[in-house]
Structure 1
Amino acid sequence: MSEESFKEGIVAAIPSLRAFARSLSGNRDRADDLVQETLAKAIANRERYTPGTNLKAWMITILRNQYYTEGRKRKREVPDSDGDHAATLTALPQQNGHLEMNDFLSALQCLPEDQREALILIGASGFSYEEAAEMLETRVGTVKSRVSRARSRLDELMSGSPDFKRDSASIEASRELLQRALGV
């Protein structure tokens, strides 16, 4: 693979990397940091990439490993236990669409990590079950099972679980958002 086609492949993968990072972290700024770190590592380790393989999948794997590495480091950090500092950093959304997207992202974060990863790789990033299984280092059947359980749980949460109380119009709008985002 030429240097130019490698660079083009990296640039083409950025939207998928951002979407996957956002789904993992649940935070736009942290997602951007993860993508930036992934791009830097991909460029620095270009010689480790095997030409002819899926560049986007290689970069998703780098991002996923970076996310877990950071997660292990964050366990040692002192949390904002009373939430005072965190409360000063939030801004309420201006439109209902933002609220619905926040509900969706909150519901997505309620899923176990293995289910959330599989769902985002299949539903939002467009990878095949086989590609996702390779990236997650598991079997295709396991990925299918995780996606199925994740979709069922998201539908339950978005359809009126006590965790997500909303009016019927908002529930329907969230359901449509879920269907568009996941292609169901």
Structure 2
Amino acid sequence: MVALLPRLRAFARSLTRNAADADDLVQQTCEKALAGLSGFTPGTKLESWLFRIMHNQWIDVTRRRRPTLDIESEGLAETLTGEDGRLTTQARMEWRAVSAAMADLPPDQSGVLMLVCVEGLRYREVADILDIPIGTVMSRLARARTAVADALDGKSTAAPASGEHAR
């Protein structure tokens, strides 16, 4: 479980959009997992079980209060120490652009994007974790990828005004 903490935190950040809330969600997930360890089936993937617990916990938390959409810097500078200044600047700009594009996604899309593209989970695993049909996973992922790509290309994702043609 300890080895999965960075992955759990990344998924929590995609759900909560706030570092402090993400840390709380990871802690709550670990507490629930340890308390309900008898619910884990040996031979299955621990990370899928933990992601499912986290997603369910996040749903419970959001039902109790309105979620915050505050995004904080990830501290990328520390990971790039000693790099070429031009590469560091470019990496920071790309990181900010991707973070901003993901922040604009609805939570259901950002969660699927995080689980598939960052965590490398299969569509079936994501569908099981989120308790949604696999087609919904594919649809949300496609919309998320398109929105991020459009944002990075500088395209507007807003609906066109009347009389304008969609791109």
User: Could you tell me which residue of structure 2 aligns to residue 128 of structure 1?
Assistant: 122
TM-score by structure 1 length? 0.67
Counterpart residue identity of residue 147, structure 2: R
Do the aligned residues in 2 keep the contact of 1:24 with 1:117 (CA within 8 Å)? yes
Q: Structure 1, unaligned stretches of length 5 or more?
A: 1-9, 80-85, 164-184
The aligned runs of 1:11-160 (5 Å cut-off) are 11-75=2-66, 96=89, 97-98=91-92, 100-160=94-154
User: Once the two structures are aligned, what percentage of the paired residues are identical?
Assistant: 39
Over 3 Å counting, the alpha-carbon distance change for 1:138 and 1:120 in structure 2 is same
Deviation at 1:162, TM superposition (A): 5.4
TM-score by structure 2 length? 0.73
Q: CA separation in 2, counterparts of 1:99 and 1:120?
A: 20
Per-residue CA distance 1:92-135 (angstroms, 9 max, x = gap): x9885555434322321221222211111100011011111111
User: Could you tell me which residue of structure 1 aligns to residue 84 of structure 2?
Assistant: none
Q: CA separation in 2, counterparts of 1:136 and 1:25?
A: 15
Higher helix share: 1
Q: Structure 2, unaligned stretches of length 5 or more?
A: 78-87, 158-167
Q: CA separation in 2, counterparts of 1:100 and 1:25?
A: 22
Structure 1 counterpart SS, 2:43? coil
Runs of 4+ in 1 over 4 A off after TM superposition: 93-100
